[in-house]
Structure 1
Amino acid sequence: MISIFIIFAIFILFNINKLTTSLCLQKEIPEEKQPKVFRTINVLITILLITSYIEILFT
């Protein structure tokens, strides 16, 4: 169960990072601010994935 969820989480994070890259290009976010945008989005998605795993684990 955990291995399937880890593969799923890596797939989700990879796709979210691709979408974030296109967002930065489309909105013309300066190079200096891009790492902050990526860090914020990755932390929020990681929190979402962890809480989803905990919810699946306890139901």
Structure 2
Amino acid sequence: MIYIFILFACFILFNINKMTNSLCLQKEIPEEKQATVFHTINILVTILLISSYVELLFTV
């Protein structure tokens, strides 16, 4: 089960990063701030994925 979830998490992170890149291009965010935007979004999504895995782990 953990392998399926890791694969799912990688897919989600990849898609979120693609959407973040589109957002940065559309809103014309400067290069200096783009790294901060990517780090913040990646950390928040990772926290969300870890918490959902823990919830799955204790409910199943």
TM range (shorter): over 0.9
Distance 1:38 1:23 in 2: 11
1:13-44 CA-partner distances (Å, limit 9, x unpaired): 00000000000000000000000000000000
Distance (Å, rounded) in 2 between the aligned partners of 1:22 and 1:13: 14
Aligned to 1:44: 44
Flag structure 2 segments of 5+ consecutive residues without an equivalent: none
Moved over 3 A (4+): none
**TM-score after normalising by structure 1:** 0.99
Root-mean-square deviation (CA, aligned residues, Å) is: 0.2
Count how many residue pairs are aligned between Structure 1 and Structure 2. 59
Distance 1:44 1:32 in 2: 20
The share of aligned pairs that are identical, in percent, is 78
Structure richer in helix, relative to its length: 2
Q: Counterparts of 2:53 and 2:40 in 1: how far apart (Å)?
A: 20
